[in-house]
Chains A and B, each alone.
Chain A
Amino acid sequence: MDFVTLLQILDSTLRLATPLLLACLAGLFSERAGIFDIGLEGKMLAAAFLSAAVAAVSGNVWVGLLAGIAASMALSIIHGLASITFRGNQLISGVAINFLAAGITVLVSQSWFKQGGRTPSLEGPARFESWTLPLANTLEPIPILGPIYKELISGHTPLVYVALLAVPFTWYVLFRTRFGLRLRAVGENPAAVDTAGVSVVGLRYAAVAICGVLCGIAGAYLATGLQAGFVKDMSAGRGFIALAALIFAKWRPWYALWACLLFGLFSAIETRPDVIEALIGVKVQVQLLGALPYIMTVVILAGFVGKAIPPRAGGEPYVKER
């Protein structure tokens, strides 16, 4: 495999890891606060649809992004109501949200655009453009580092950088602020937070809301950055892979980055059967490659995270007890 191919693969790794990373960090906030969220998938899908729809109509991708966040947030509120206010089963709520998004995106896009459940293709300012970082072209002639800077680091849509910056941001919020301390505490022992005079409900809603924002960005990136428009079921299990990455990362932000890059890499080589063939010397069927990220998820969950301890109060609605 030559250097250019490697750069191409790493470049698409980064692009494909971006939605995973955003969703993974979204899940991290939620689960660190004790709210399991298997509805990441649905929130991404809803955000992907609404961002693409609004971007298509308004011609402004930033407005589309906001709409995507709003869509994801609406589902977050439902999840919050079910799992915080009414103390329902968080897994079931997540499943419902996934189906709700899967159904309603098609219903509404059909009603609005009449294109068989897709939005019109996005062009120009209705789509996120790549940013060329300063000096990318100037530095290109430098061997190795030049192309790495130009191809791999520069030339992505803004949301890729947002995702990358979200990692240190998440780390800082979680481990260096009052809010982070309380958030982690509420996921470990909500009774400790409650008796310390802090609202468990308020904290958990805040976490679920942050989760909504990040999922919204992830979904918007899918439809307006990675691709040019919404198509039915376009999240294609990414929300679940993000969830697997979260478990693999043991609910830590920096580990989440590496986990998502790893899963991004699986997706990147999935589209390059030639590379795989060159690497392992056997021709691999395209259907099996399609299943690769899912198989790897299962393998990783089965093999390496036996000792991952989720937040102790995760999945349990908080009921006051003496």
Chain B
Amino acid sequence: MTAPAIELKGISKAFGPVQANKDISIRVMPGTIHGIIGENGAGKSTLMSILYGFYKADRGEIFINGNKTEIPDSQAAIAAGIGMVFQHFKLVENFTVLENVVLGAEDGARLGPSLAKAREQLVHLAKEYELNVDPDALIEEIGVGMQQRVEILKALYREAEILILDEPTGVLTPAEADHLFRILEGLKEQGKTIILITHKLREIMDVTDSVSVMRRGEMTDTVKTSETSPEELAELMVGRKVLLRVDKKPAEPGAPVLEVNNLQVVDEKGVQRLKGVSLNVRAGEILGIAGVAGNGQSELLEVLGGIRTATGSIKINGQEIDLSGKYSDGRSRRERGIAHVPEDRQREGLIMDFRAWENSAFGYHHDPAYQSGLLMNNAAIRADTEGKIERFDVRPANPLLEAKSFSGGNQQKIVLAREIERNPDLLLVGQPTRGVDIGAIEFIHQRIVELRDAGKAILLVSVELDEILSLSDRIAVIFDGHIMGERLPAETDEKELGLLMAGITDTEHEHSIEEIEANLAEAAGEVH
């Protein structure tokens, strides 16, 4: 019997008081694709970071091909034949593809010969594994799909036999994800071992041979993929039965609340990010914006939230709002009944060093209820926060804790409570469940649907197609600053939306991955 390509025995790791990995053991056989699935914060990434020498395990052993191996740093991991494709790519943006591949694996002190050799090698590897890239393109000028292939090439250039991919499809369209999986199949046929870390059940079911499930730092089970089901995996992940779809009544849309007409945005670098977007959202409906990250959806939210200036026209309840003048800031928007749950709550939605109560007034700090004379009425804000914490089930229920001490889901609840309880006419929501555990996801979705049922308009932006499909009453697809079309969730599917997200309106026929990628790259290239 062959030795496992990787065997971990009793790995434990704590960060301060938090136990990220508890006594984890796992065996991955060579030439297989092994999935690791679990919720946010289940400890998947920590485990793989230990395997790649990023963190040192407190306890436990690592065996590579049956040999006990110490992996104190990335160098040792590379030497042991392990390559890793991180969720956030580790590429130097203003270097070329070639330079990125060579970095750290140069051949001698002079750069010229190293680059020449790598170029040759790269062409060879690209051909062998169908990983076509342009060696001389700058990273910042190529699309994420190609960036990901550069990461895979980096690993292969270092002669990796074991490839770990951490949430590789988060930034890809469905077609690109399928293309990636074909590449992985190809690598597997060449005898490479692949570990796929993901929170998406469908991916596990589609490509893996076996799957390990993690929950709260522990390995709950390892099963053959052919012998399990999504429902079973979900239950293993969460520890209870979960509803995979949002439970909601059909929408009863009223009058338009938001009317956007010919909206154009040019960013700081002079690049046009929105090229004439028109859409509307009616009272009592959720409009979902689907699209690959970077196609203008963030800018749309920012303009609506008063973070960015624009030209064109936006009406709220029939009244024009200021897009570039004195009243184009967040404060004026809030006064017009627009609430905003931003895409990046840690960077924008919260001040991580502020306490929960200070955060719960954030953006609404001009509210007269929060003032007493010249000073702020901290007692009133605190009392207010206590109510919100209770109604939104924020844990721990302590308004004195700093935002950074809460988990992702609870941070999001603090933001959501602040915005929803203002009873806005229009709620802007960006990536509501990014980095949020399943329990909180259900709660957050429920609250958004409740607000809709109360007759409010909701604009939802998410890169998770599942979320768009299950939560929206109507879906608009954005690509390269244009709205490619609108669909009703019941009358469309991931495949059609995926093509629209790549700028292809002819969704009846088959399209090659090259065509899709060329479209996306062109849009991305223009951006830079």
With A176-B111, A185-B92 already in contact, the answer to whether A195 and B100 are too (CB < 8 A) is: no
> Is A181 located at the chain interface by the 8 A CB criterion?
yes
Q: How far is the CA of A185 from the CA of B91 in the complex (A)?
A: 9
CA distance A184 to B114 in the complex (A): 17
Q: Looking across the interface, which residue of chain B has its beta carbon closest to that of A320?
A: B54
- Rounded to whole Å, the gap between the CB of B211 and the closest CB of chain A is 21
Cβ contacts under 8 Å, B158 to chain A: 197
A57 to B355, CA, bound (A): 60
- Take A178-B111, A320-B55 as given contacts and tell me if A188 and B95 are in contact as well, using a CB distance cutoff of 8 Å: yes
* Closest B residue, CB atoms, query A313: B92
Taking a contact as CB atoms closer than 8 A, the residue among A178, A179, A192 that contacts B90 in the complex is A192
Is residue B87 within 8 Å, beta carbon to beta carbon, of the partner chain? yes
| Cβ–Cβ < 8 Å partners of B250 in chain A | none
Q: How far is the CA of A181 from the CA of B118 in the complex (A)?
A: 14
Instruction: Say if the beta carbon of A250 comes within 8 Å of chain B.
Output: no
Q: Which of A175, A176, A177, A192 contacts B103 (CB 8 A)?
A: A192
B225 at the interface (CB under 8 A from A): no
* Best-surrounded residue of A177, A181, A182 (most CB of chain B within 10 A): A181
Over the window 39-74 of chain A, the binary record of Cβ atoms lying under 8 Å from chain B Cβ atoms (1 yes, 0 no) is: 000000000000000000000000000000000000
| Cβ contact within 8 Å between B103 and A193 | yes
| Chain A: minimal CB distance from B30 (Å) | 23
Query: Given A179-B109, A181-B111, A182-B104, are A189 and B92 also a contact pair (CB < 8 Å)?
Result: yes
Measured in the bound complex, the distance between the Cα atoms of B104 and A184 in whole Å is: 12
Contact B45 A192 (CB under 8 A): no
A180, A195, A196, A197: most-surrounded residue (chain B CB, <10 A): A195
Q: Which of A176, A179, A184, A322 makes the CB contact (< 8 A) with B87?
A: A322
Q: Confirm or deny: B431 has a beta carbon within 8 angstroms of a beta carbon on chain A.
A: no
B326 within 8 A of A: no
* Interface bits A154-187 vs B (CB < 8 Å: 1, else 0): 0000000000000000000001111111101100
What chain B residues lie within 8 Å of A179 (beta carbons)? 109
Cα A178 to Cα B102 in complex, Å, equals 9
Given A176-B112, A322-B86, A193-B93 contact (CB < 8 Å): no
Whole-angstrom distance between the alpha carbons of A178 and B154 in the complex? 16
Q: Does chain A have a CB within 8 A of B148? A: no
User: Are A192 and B110 CB-contacts (below 8 A) given A181-B99, A322-B87, A322-B166?
Assistant: no
Say yes or no: B102 contacts A195, CB within 8 Å.
no
Taking a contact as CB atoms under 8 Å apart, the answer to whether A188 and B94 are in contact is yes
* In the complex, chain A residues whose CB is within 8 Å of the CB of B16: none
In contact, B55 and A189 (Cβ under 8 angstroms): no
User: In whole angstroms, what is the CA distance A52 to B95 when docked?
Assistant: 43
Query: Which A275-322 residues have a C-beta within 8 angstroms of B?
Result: 312, 320, 322
Cβ of A25 within 8 Å of any chain B Cβ, yes or no, is no
A194 contacts the other chain (Cβ, under 8 Å)? yes
Which residues of B have CB within 8 Å of A145?
Answer: none
The range of chain B's interface size is 35 or more
Cβ contacts under 8 Å, A191 to chain B: 90
Q: Beta-carbon contacts of A193-225 to B below 8 Å, as 1s and 0s?
A: 111111100000000000000000000000000
Cβ of B106 < 8 Å from any Cβ of A? yes
Q: Does B78 contact A (CB under 8 A)?
A: yes
Q: Assess the A196–B93 pair: CB atoms within 8 A.
A: no
Contact A178 B109 (CB under 8 A): yes
Whether B17 sits at the interface, judged by CB under 8 Å, is no
Query: What CA separation (Å) do A189 and B99 show in the bound complex?
Result: 13
Whether a CB of chain A sits under 8 angstroms from the CB of B49 is yes
CB distance from B207 to the nearest CB of A (A): 22
Q: Which residue of B lies closest to A309 (CB)?
A: B94
By beta carbon, the residue of chain A nearest B48 is A322
Q: Please name the residue on chain A nearest to B85 by beta carbon.
A: A195
Do A188 and B55 have beta carbons less than 8 Å apart? no
Q: Is the CB of B103 within 8 A of A181?
A: yes
Contact between A176 and B110, CB atoms less than 8 A apart:
yes
Q: How far is the CA of A179 from the CA of B95 in the complex (A)?
A: 15
By a CB distance below 8 angstroms, the chain A residues around B46 are 322
B83 to chain A: closest CB distance in Å?
A: 10
A181 to B100, alpha carbons, bound, how many Å?
A: 9
CB distance from A207 to the nearest CB of B (A): 16
Decide: B103 and A182 in contact? CB cutoff 8 A: yes
Query: Is B479 at the interface (CB under 8 A from chain A)?
Result: no
Q: Which residues 67-114 in B have Cβ within 8 Å of A in the complex?
A: 73-75, 77-78, 84, 86-88, 90-95, 99-100, 102-106, 108-112, 114
Nearest A residue to B75 by beta-carbon distance?
A197
Q: How far is the CB of A174 from chain B (nearest CB, A)?
A: 10
A217-256 interface with B by 8 A CB criterion: none
With a CB–CB cut-off of 8 A, which chain B residues contact A177?
Answer: 109-111
Complex contacts, A197 vs chain B, CB 8 Å: 73-75, 77-78, 104-105, 158
How many angstroms between the C-alpha atoms of A181 and B108 in the bound complex? 12
CB distance from B485 to the nearest CB of A (A): 37
B52 at the interface (CB under 8 A from A): yes
Is the Cβ of A196 less than 8 Å from the Cβ of B104? yes
> How many Å lie between the Cα of A320 and that of B54 in the bound state?
7
Partner of B111 from the list A180, A192, A199 (CB cut-off 8 Å) is A180
A195-B84, A320-B55, A322-B86 known; A178 vs B108 contact (CB < 8 Å): yes
Is the pair A178, B54 in contact by a Cβ cutoff of 8 Å?
no
Listed A/B pairs (17) with beta-carbon separation below 8 Å: A176-B110, A177-B109, A180-B111, A181-B102, A185-B92, A189-B93, A192-B100, A192-B103, A193-B103, A193-B104, A196-B78, A196-B90, A198-B75, A198-B104, A322-B45, A322-B87, A322-B88
Known A181-B102, A194-B90, A198-B103; 18 more pairs at CB < 8 Å: A175-B111, A177-B110, A178-B110, A178-B114, A181-B99, A181-B111, A185-B95, A189-B90, A191-B90, A192-B103, A193-B103, A196-B78, A197-B73, A197-B75, A197-B105, A199-B73, A320-B55, A322-B46
Which 10 A/B pairs are nearest by Cβ-Cβ distance? A196-B104, A197-B75, A178-B106, A192-B90, A195-B90, A197-B74, A198-B104, A322-B45, A197-B78, A188-B92
